[in-house]
Structure 1
Amino acid sequence: MIGDDEYSISKGYSWLEQNYSHVQWQRSVWNRYNLSRHNFNQWIIQHGRLLTLKRLGTFGITQQSLCFLCGDNNETHQHLFHECIYVERCYQDLYQWLDVPSQFKGVTHPEKMLRKRGCSDFVRLVLISLIVALHYNIWNARNVCRLEGYVMQPVIQVKCIQRESKLRLMTISKGKLKRVDKQWCKQRVLM
């Protein structure tokens, strides 16, 4: 556009839309089945901006670096959502409830994981929203442990997710689902 003599609206839009890449995590953050607080938390996770102990240490705010949930490794994004024993147990409990193979551990980009599952868009979005809710609850459990000194059991985390997701699905998807999706929802989520 710069250097051209004539201006056109299409050239203007082309110039404005230059080389912006499509982000992989868009559907996990902006999913209508997510709660707003889950959206915000997932957005912060995707940008790597959670205030983990490693990040706080780089700002000179804290000297402590061990994970509050397991006490084994330094608390980083990688550890907190991929390597922590506590988080692995949370994923196992969530996948057991949903009857999903538990080979998926530490999912930061749930939409990539679910792309190849061969399920409907509704099921995919619900599963993504449940994983995003788990991310929120993991961060919440970490903060409870940091501030109050106790670790919530992974089973309690999954029960919180069950309760929240049932309420959310019942309000959003009344009468708008295909028969197959309703059946899946009754069997797995609303049971």
Structure 2
Amino acid sequence: MVSVPKVSSAEPIKKYLEEGTLPVDKREARRLVYKAARYTLVDEVLYKRGSSMPLLRNVEKEEALKVLHEIHEGECGNHKSGPSKTRKAMRQGYQISHGYMMLCPVQNRVKWSQEVWGRINLPRHSLVFWIAVQNRLRTREKLQKYKIIDESHCLFYRRHTETEEHLFFDCSLAWLCLQQVKNWLRWGAESRHLGSLLRWIERTKISKFKKQCYSAALAALVYQVWHARNELLWHSKVMTADMIVRKIKEDVKHRVSCVRPKCVNTIEIEWFLAL
């Protein structure tokens, strides 16, 4: 007598996710594809996407018996309801969160995310702002380092090397734009560097709406300075500080008018309308 090993019901799903293997019968194949959409593989282990939990591990009969045995023995030696047993099983180390953390590892948290990705910021402003904060803009100093270009001077002020620290805001043009934006917003921050201005917005004790407006204006300023630099580089178009600041005011005013929070008080609305 020959014993045939029993095939797990989850094995066809696992094979389909790994190799794309489908049954010959079209109806069974369609059913398998529909069912497999609710499953995923993590390190060759099959998980089901639960409605109330991130991932539910597929457990075979032997492993399930082991889990039930440990639940009913020792510290868990009672016979309560199903949900109670599930909670006890999780407390004993069978946690769905472990699988979730494998898919979403812990990242380094940053303090400037609220300012960079603020609701009032224009998306294109936030994107360039985010790249600039991480010091990843392709400045001429970096391009020369990679031997893509021969000169690394600033296009606005040729005596200095074009670095992100110089563009935001040691460059005379960028500094003049920053001063005009500060005067427009009646912004009392004395710093002239991007990182310091972000920390000032984060730590200062003003209303949330004003913080959002300052962040939106700073994001627009970074974007417009970088845009003016590219216009000069690629199209030989010179933009003055007044032109850049005028564009910043238009973008910020239009954006705030469209997505202004409803909970803003009358004093802050009057402050914004007076800008």
Deviation of 1:84 after TM superposition, in Å, equals: 1.2
Q: Which residue of 1 aligns with 2:115?
A: 28
Which one-letter code corresponds to 1:103 in the other structure? E
Task: Please give the TM-score of this superposition, normalised by the length of structure 2.
Answer: 0.61
Deviation of 1:133 after TM superposition, in Å, equals: 0.3
CA distance in 2, matches of 1:99, 1:173: 19
CA distance in 1, matches of 2:110, 2:262: 32
Is 1:98 aligned with 2:154?
A: no
**Structure 1, unpaired ranges of 5+:** none
CA distance in 2, matches of 1:110, 1:16: 35
Deviation of 1:174 after TM superposition, in Å, equals: 7.0
Deviations 1:90-134 (A, max 9, x none): 111111111122512122464311234321011101111100100
Which one-letter code corresponds to 1:154 in the other structure? A
Greater Cα offset, 170-179 or 78-87: 170-179
Instruction: Spell out the pairing of 1:71-86 with structure 2 (5 A cutoff).
Output: 71-86=158-173
CA distance in 2, matches of 1:75, 1:58: 12
Is 1:166 aligned with 2:256?
A: no
**Structure whose CA Rg is larger:** 2
Greater Cα offset, 17-26 or 148-157: 17-26
Deviation of 1:175 after TM superposition, in Å, equals: 4.8
Instruction: Find the partner of 1:137 among 224, 234, 259.
Output: 224
The higher-RCO structure (CA 8 Å, 6+ apart) is: 1
Task: Please give the TM-score of this superposition, normalised by the length of structure 1.
Answer: 0.85
Identity of aligned residues (%): 27
Is 1:111 aligned with 2:190?
A: no
Aligned length: 184
CA distance in 1, matches of 2:158, 2:152: 9
Q: Where in structure 1 do 4 or more consecutive aligned residues deviate above 3 Å?
A: 10-19, 108-111
Q: CA RMSD in A?
A: 2.2
**Structure 2, unpaired ranges of 5+:** 1-91
Deviation of 1:167 after TM superposition, in Å, equals: 1.0
Secondary structure of 1:115's counterpart equals helix
